[in-house]
A and B are shown apart, each in its own frame.
Chain A
Amino acid sequence: MKDANIKRIVIAGGGTAGWMMAAALSKVLGAKGAGGAGIEVTLVESEAIGTVGVGEATIPAIMKFNAQLGIDEHEFMRATQATYKLGIEFRDWGAIGESYFHPFGRIGFDLEGIDFHQFWARLKHLGDSNGLDAYSLNTRAAYASKFVRPEPAHGQVINQMGYAFHFDASLYAAFLRRFAEGHGAHRIEGRIEHVEQDGETGLVRALKLDRDRTIEGDLFIDCTGFRGLLIGQAMGADYHDWSHWLPCNRAVAIACERAGDPVPYTRSTAREAGWQWRIPLQHRTGNGYVYCDDFLTPEKAEAVLLDNLDGAPVSNPNHLRFQTGHRAQFWAGNCVAIGLSSGFLEPLESTSIHLIQMGIAKLIALFPGTRDAPVERAEYNRLMEDDFRHVRDFLILHYKATSRKDAPFWDQVRMMEIPDTLTQKIELLRSRGRFFKYDAELFDLTSWLAVAEGQGWGPQGHSPAADRLSESNVRQSLANMRSVYAKTIDAMPSHQAYLDKYCKAAGETLRADAA
C-alpha cells in the first residue's frame, strides 16, 4: 500500500461519538472548511443497529467543543431538549441518609493569595458549621433551581459559576449530523460486514458493506461502540481491564415522564450494588442503574430502578453490559477508536462525552500526514491513557471513600487496594487539604475537595499559611462571602424561566423570541 497523504477519512458508526467526530473533522479539515484542507469525511452507519447514547450529561469542557464548532448554545439546547447542569448531587454515597453536591465552578474566594478552603478548614475545626456548599454559587443555585448564564459583564461572583448541559443523546447526534453534513460530510447507510486490511502492513484499506459495497479510506475512525469492530476485531488491540477497581459491569436505563420543572443538576444515588442516575431534560427524565452483576441480578436491578422513578416510564428498559477499562492502543495502525470502542468508564462524573471530545481534540492536534504515523500514534496513545487514568482515579475515590457497610458490594469497594498515586493524592488532601494536579488531569481541586469532604474524607487540618489572618478577620470574610452568594442567588431567574426565555424546545416563535 502506498503511504500517501490522508485524503479520505471513514468513520465507522454514528451515534454520539461518530457524529461528534464527523462534525469536528468536517469543520476543521473538510473540503468546505476555511482554506479548504480538502479531506473527504464519510460516515457509515446502519439504522438497524441501535446506539447506546453514551451520555446525556456533560461537564463544562463541552463548551470548548461547541465553541470550536461555532455552535450557538441556545439553538443547540432547543434542538436537543437540553437543560443546564450546575453539578451533581450525590445521595447515600458516604453513608446512607447523607448527601453532598459536586459543583462546577469555584468554591469561595481566595484570601491574600491563600486558597479559600484552607480558611474554611480552619474555621471548620474551630467548630464552624458552614459546609462547602455555603460558599459554592453553583450548589446554592442548583438547590434553589436558579440559573443564569455567566457573562463577562456579570462580575466576578456570577463568573465563578461553571455549567454544562443535560441533553437527549439521540437528538444531539441528529443535531451534529445536520452540522456535519452541512460542512460536507457524507453519510452512507449500510451494515459493515467485513474490514479489509492490507496483507503486508495490516493497515485498514476499506470497509465492505452489505449489498457488495466497498468504502475505501486512508484513516479509519472506529465508533462502533462496545463491539470495537475495527480496533478490536480487525486490529486486535487488547483491552486493559480495570474492573478490580471499578467493578460495576452492567446498567439498565429507562426514560420517564418529567415530574415538575427540571432541576439544573444530575442526581446520583448510591444503591445496594451500584448507583442510580437521574438526568432531567425538558421533555423527559433519563434514569439508569449502574451495578455489578456479582451482587445483583438484571431483574432485580430493573425492579429497583422502576421503583425509584420520578414519573411513569416512557421507554422500555435497556440493559447494557460493559467492561471498565480501555484499549491497550486507542490508535492502532491507521485506525483510531473513539467512544465506547476505545474504552469505558462508568458515567458517574459524566465523562463519557468528554473522553470522546478529548480523543477528537488529540487526533486533530496530532493529525497524521500519512496512513502510518508511528510517532503521532504513540503520543496519542500515551495522552489518552493518561486521560482515562486520571478519570479512573477520581471515580475510584467515590467508592473508596465510603463508610457504607450495608451490602457486600460496598464492603468490597471500601476495602479494595487502590493505585499508589491515588493513595498519595488522597492522603495529601485529607491531611491538610493539599492538592496538586498531575499532568493535564481533568478534575481540579474543587472537584476532589467536594467529593472527599462530601464523603467524610475531607481535610483534617489546614495549612499554617491560613493562620496568617486573625480568626475574627477570617470569620468576617467568610460571612461576607455567604452574604454575597445569598444576594446573588436571590437575583437569579429560575432555571425553568431561563429555559422558557431562551432555550425552550418548541416552535419558531420561541426561537424568534430568543434571538
Chain B
Amino acid sequence: MIIKRIAVLISAGRHPTSGQPRHCRNDSLALTMAVDLANSHSTELDVIHAGNPENPALANYLALGADEIKVITAEPIIENLAANLKDVDLILTGSRAENGQDSGLLPYLLAVKLNIPIVANALEIKQMDDKLEVLQFFPKGKRRRVAVKLPAIIAIHPLAFVELHYAYAREQQGKIVVLDSRSTVNNTVAENNLQWQIQPKMRKPNKLKAPENLTGHGRLLSAITSENKGGTVVNEGNSVEKAQVILSYLREHQLINF
C-alpha cells in the first residue's frame, strides 16, 4: 500500500518565558518528519490546525515547511478534526501541546473516534509495505520497534532525531486557509470533562502526605531513630567470596542476566 495522504496536526505554542506565541516544538518535529516522508514518497500533505486562524504562531509553521495550513474553527475540536481526517492514511502530531490543557489526550481521543491504532512516543518512522515501523522511546536507554497497520496516528516524542529548518521565504509564500466554520457534527455528551479553575497565582504544588497522629513519645522516637540507614556490609572472606556476594546481589535483583 502506498501512503496517499498524510495529515499533521499542529497547535499554537508559546514561549516558556515571555509567553509570546510561537510554534510548538513537539508539533514542529511531527511537521518536519511528515514533510520528509511526503517528499520521499511524493504524497499529499495536509497541515491542520484547530483554533484561531489569526494566531501569529501559525506563520512559524509556514517557515518550518508547511505550504498551506488548513484551520478548523468549529467546535467541538475532536469531532470536527475526525470529520476532516476520514480518508487520511497517516496522522502525525506532537505528544503534548503548549497551550490549553496539554493533557496529551488528543491523539488517543482521535484514535478512538476514527477507530484506528495509535502509537505514542515515536522517535523514528519508516514505511514498510502496508505498515509503518515506529521506534518508540523508553526511559533508561531502551527503545522498542513496533509495526503498526495504516491508517494510524503517531504521536512524536520530544527527543525525536529531527532537525528543524526555518526559512523566512517559505513563511512569505505559504498561506493559511480557513475551512468551513460550521460544525459538521452535533455536540455529543460532555466527555471526560472536568471544570478546571485556573489559580490566580502560580505556586509550588503541595505534596500529599499521610496524616500521622503520633504522641509525644512517638514523635521523639521517630526523631531519634532512623529507618534502616545503610545496607549489608561484608567484611569477611577473601576477594572471591566478596565478588560472589556482589554477583549474587545483582542476580537476586535481576540487574544482570548471566
Q: Answer yes or no: do A and B interact.
A: no
Chain B interfacial positions (CB closer than 8 Å to A):
none
Chain A interfacial positions (CB closer than 8 Å to B):
none
